[in-house]
Amino acid sequence: MTFLRTAGRQIVDESGTPVRLRGVAVGGWLNMENFITGYSGNESLMRGTVREVLGEERYELFFERLLTAFFGEDDAKLLADLGMNCVRFPVNYRHFEDDSKPFEFKKEGFRHLDRAIEACARHGIYSVIDLHALPGSQNHHWHSDNPTHRPAFWDHPHFQDRVVAMWEHIAEHYKDNPWVAGYNPINEPADESRKVVGPFYTSLVNAIRAIDERHILFLDGNTYSTEFDVFDEPWENTVYVAHDYAAPGLGGGGDYPGLTDGRYFDKAALEAKYAERTEYCRRTGTPVWVGEFGPIYTGDERVDAMRRQLLADQLEIYRREDAGWSIWMYKDLGRQGLVMVRPDSPYLKRFGDFVAKKVRLGADQWGSDGLGVPEVIKPFHEMMATEFPDFDPYPWGRFDWVRTLILNLTVAQPLAYEYAELFRDLTDADLVALADSFALANCDVRTTLRDQLVAG
């Protein structure tokens, strides 16, 4: 096995043979997300409330079993059988370091990540290591394990210094592993000032390169990997990662082709947005890798047929442009994943009503229309629009700001305690059965998505 590297617009192996990285992100595993595994709020809040109910020993039993079941040899084999050659592994910094002990790295921090990378390697699959949640949170939302709506990472050099040290630690661990395609050091940074992210990237790249010159760096642009003006001349052996979610495929999406939020979307619109998001790559002659994309499915066949067409159009664009990709995502409760936990599983039997309540209240941002209970929330949106018509907060405007504060924090956080209470009085056998619901043998494959990814 040889290390991958960049060569102009392509990623190649050491013989110079082009390698178009295509695969999935294993979200919801080493960085847990509410809509993926069914809890509410952010990961650290969920873990804390569940620990209070279960106690330390049984908390460890459940989460160790869950992490073991969620991704393993069978999952790697499935992806290889589908022709995938890359897996992106999102990781929460808390696997490496505790806030109470900054700069002190856990001996067991690499245990599950090593196991997954080795399983993928046995099936000919490269891995990309993605630090998805940074200390202080690098963006505004749940997926950076943010308990607020502010990304404090950019305000505090302490957090930034910890991430530099953490990546030195990661690079030292993997510098000789050719099955690691590279490092994705910051998922979806969102620096409103646009003054910190560029210099910080320079410091981070220099620190990693002092230890590891061989692995590719996969660098996300600012504002959730959509803006690349924070970069000057490209670094060597570096890919500038675009995230390419299409509005008609999201929670409030309309018909495709058709109108979403007053804009008309068809394939030409997708091509224009792709061209905008990859302009830096094309201008600098560096490879294009779409680090995240993919529609959300609804269970309504009319809508889902349009979502499949949207995905087909995106994949055709990437194929034509010779762009690599990593779809979001591999496994969940059925909203988006290639693999889905079965409705009759012990987990969904236990938590299905809770998940339905989250949906009714709009507690999860991903997949929601942002209204929750419309008779309650819609008047508040209207009041804000009337009273503050010029209020357009970073990153996604007034509507997202309101729903984040009211639904994804104010409503979601009390629900985290309700979720934890559903663990009360369960036996050890019950906990094992809940965790094992996420094992591939107990899940179904979304065959339509499988077939589209194979063709893509």
Beta strands 126-133; 443-445: pairing state:
unpaired
Q: Is the dihedral of CA 203, 206, 211, 216 positive or negative?
A: positive
Cα separations in angstroms, 400 against 262, 278, 396, 406: 16, 25, 6, 10
Nearest-angstrom CA–CA distance, 75 and 281: 32
With H, G, I as helix, E, B as strand and everything else as coil, classify residue 232: coil
State the DSSP H helix or E strand holding residue 169, giving kind and residue range, or none if neither: helix 157-174
The pair phi, psi for residue 317, each rounded to 5°, is -65, -45
Q: To the nearest 10°, the Cα dihedral for 89, 95, 101, 104? A: -70
Looking up tokens 């947005």, which residue turns up?
273
Residues serving a catalytic function are 188, 292
Which amino acid makes up residue 47? R
In the chain, the amino acid numbered 248 is: P
DSSP label at residue 181: E
Is the Cβ–Cβ distance between 127 and 24 less than 8 Å? no
Q: Could you tell me which of 367, 310, 301 has the C-alpha nearest to residue 142?
A: 367
Report d(CA 104, CA 89) in Å as an integer.
22
Please name the helix (run of DSSP H) or strand (run of DSSP E) that holds residue 59, with its range, or none.
helix 56-70
